[in-house]
């Protein structure tokens, strides 16, 4: 009997072990956009800020699994004490075409946006582009997020939902384009629209004649034989180039992505990025025959 003498003793069933394919979160917020995702959720309401930490242990233990993300919806399963995993759903409204068109126009107006996005980074000013379009890339109101969980906990977010939010934050850390996809546009759609918008702006911009002294001589390959292909075809005096550090470090591994057989928890870009940076600085020092500027 219980201490109240009314009901038999209730023993909470032990938690089932996390599945082998569970997503173990190491650290959320390693990028500003992943951190901003959690901060945006904490700012939605007092319930969110108080209850989100309950899911941190579940997320670190790998209890969230089978995560899928589509436009406007995230679904996952969470293993707890119930014999079958709980089903979790998070719905966030997709941004309409008008908002996306205006936001892309704003992004296209700044060349650095395209450079950073191609490098797999989210520009810190990105949300300003969406605010100019009358929206936000991150949730700003509790009413924007519709959640469901098959567990009996009435609170929102329950620990299963909270754990899913942390897993989602780490996923955004690794791939910022998932934020775009959740809001209704894939990476290819955004980048294609940016290129089209920028090419249109360049076509509409006035053309200025290039001074003859700055013109780059053209080379015709029609009459070049294979033996002469690698031979210099003009005077060295006509060649102009500038050696400088890249705008963003480690761009190449981020653009290429992880090899198909990559199985490490650490992303390929995080692991290989420092090596590419060191090789880049060595190449610069060799070109300058001195230490590159700090």
Q: What is the pLDDT of residues 9-29, one digit of tens each?
A: 445 567 778 888 889 888 888
- Is 132 in the same domain as 188? yes
Q: How many CA atoms lie within 13 A of 14 on its CB side?
A: 3
Q: Does 222 reside within a domain?
A: no
Q: Does 282 reside within a domain?
A: yes
Burial label for 20, CB within 10 Å (0-12, 13-18, 19+), is: exposed
| Number of domains into which the chain is organized | 2
- For 146, the enclosing helix (H) or strand (E) is strand 146-149
Q: Does 79 reside within a domain?
A: yes
- Is 57 in the same domain as 178? yes
Query: Could you tell me the sign of the dihedral formed by the alpha carbons of 265, 267, 273, 275, in that order?
Result: positive
Burial label for 248, CB within 10 Å (0-12, 13-18, 19+), is: middle
- Is 146 in the same domain as 82? yes
Task: Measure Cα distances from 249 to 31, 119, 252, 287 in Å.
Answer: 15, 9, 9, 18
For residues 116 and 122, the answer to whether their CB atoms sit within 8 Å is: yes
- Is 137 in the same domain as 281? no
- Is 38 in the same domain as 130? yes
Q: Does 126 reside within a domain?
A: yes
- Is 249 in the same domain as 137? no
Token readout for 246 is 């890249």
Residues 48-105: tens digit of each pLDDT: 888 888 888 899 999 999 999 999 999 999 998 888 999 999 999 999 999 999 999 8
Q: Does 131 reside within a domain?
A: yes
Query: What's the average model confidence in pLDDT over 4-13?
Result: 49
Q: Which residues pair with 90 in a beta bridge?
A: 74, 147
pLDDT of residue 254: 64
Token readout for 11 is 């023993």
pTM of the model: 0.64
Mean pLDDT of all residues in the chain? 78
Q: Does 211 reside within a domain?
A: no
Domain extent at residue 250: 241-294
- Is 180 in the same domain as 246? no
pLDDT of residue 65: 94
């Amino acid at each position: 009997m219980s201490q109240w003498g009314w009901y038999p003793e209730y023993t909470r069933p032990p938690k089932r072990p996390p599945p082998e394919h569970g997503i173990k979160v190491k650290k959320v917020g390693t990028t500003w956009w992943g951190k901003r995702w959690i901060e945006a959720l904490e700012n939605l309401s007092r319930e969110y800020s108080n209850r989100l930490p309950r899911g941190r242990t579940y997320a670190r233990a790998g209890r969230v699994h089978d995560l899928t993300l589509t436009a406007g919806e995230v679904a996952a399963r969470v293993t707890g004490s119930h014999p079958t995993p709980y089903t979790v759903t998070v719905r966030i409204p997709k941004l309409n075409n008008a908002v996306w068109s205006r936001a892309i126009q704003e992004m296209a107006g700044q060349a650095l946006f395209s450079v950073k996005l191609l490098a797999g980074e989210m520009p810190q000013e990105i949300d300003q582009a969406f605010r100019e379009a009358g929206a936000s890339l991150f949730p700003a109101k509790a009413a924007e997020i519709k959640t469901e969980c098959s567990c009996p906990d009435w609170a929102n977010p329950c620990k299963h939902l909270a754990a899913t939010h942390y897993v989602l934050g780490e996923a955004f850390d690794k791939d910022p384009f998932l934020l775009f996809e959740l809001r209704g546009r894939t990476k290819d759609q955004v980048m294609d629209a940016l290129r089209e918008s920028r090419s249109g702006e360049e076509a509409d911009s006035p053309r200025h004649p290039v001074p003859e002294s700055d013109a780059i001589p053209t080379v015709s390959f029609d009459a070049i034989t294979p033996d002469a292909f690698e031979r210099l075809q003009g005077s060295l005096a006509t060649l102009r180039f500038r050696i400088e550090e890249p705008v963003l470090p480690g761009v190449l591994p981020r653009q290429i992505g992880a090899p198909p057989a990559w199985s490490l928890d650490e992303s390929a870009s995080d692991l290989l990025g420092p090596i590419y940076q060191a090789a880049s600085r060595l190449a610069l020092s060799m070109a300058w025959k001195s230490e590159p500027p700090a």
